[in-house]
Amino acid sequence: MTKQFIFSKVERLSHKNHIDALFNEGKSFSLNPFKIIYRLHPIAAEVPVKVLFAVSKKKFKRAVDRNRLRRIIREAYRLNKHLLVDQLATIPCSLHMGFVYVSDRRDVTFAEIEKQMVSCLERLGKIVGSSSGSGSGS
């Protein structure tokens, strides 16, 4: 099967109730420069993973800087999301997750972000794969 390197609108976590539930009930871990918040949503959606990207306005006052970082993070996710999506294909629910950029470095390169993104996706795949495997009692 060929990998689809697209990031469509349906893959974005945009519903306010889902975002609130993610931040209130979700589990998290940190892997510099990200804090990853994730939650298994019990109802299967049209896509297995919905994702949110956030960059702090408090740390980056200029919108240009926030937009640049979000664009780099989104591109790194788009190119490497297959690492996570392939593992979650067998799970009957969907995964909601958020990438929060917590570093205060403005001059970060795409290569650095992509390296950490791959590490985050692999770690998240292991966490969700092990928790969903033990949680289903069929």
Residue 20 neighbours by CB distance under 10 Å: 10
DSSP annotation string for 21-32: HHHHH-EEEEET
Question: pLDDT by residue (tens digit) across 81-107?
Answer: 888 888 777 777 888 999 999 999 989
35-83 residue pLDDT tens = 999 998 877 778 888 999 999 999 999 999 999 999 999 999 999 988 8
d(CA 101, CA 72): 11
CATH class of 12-123: alpha beta
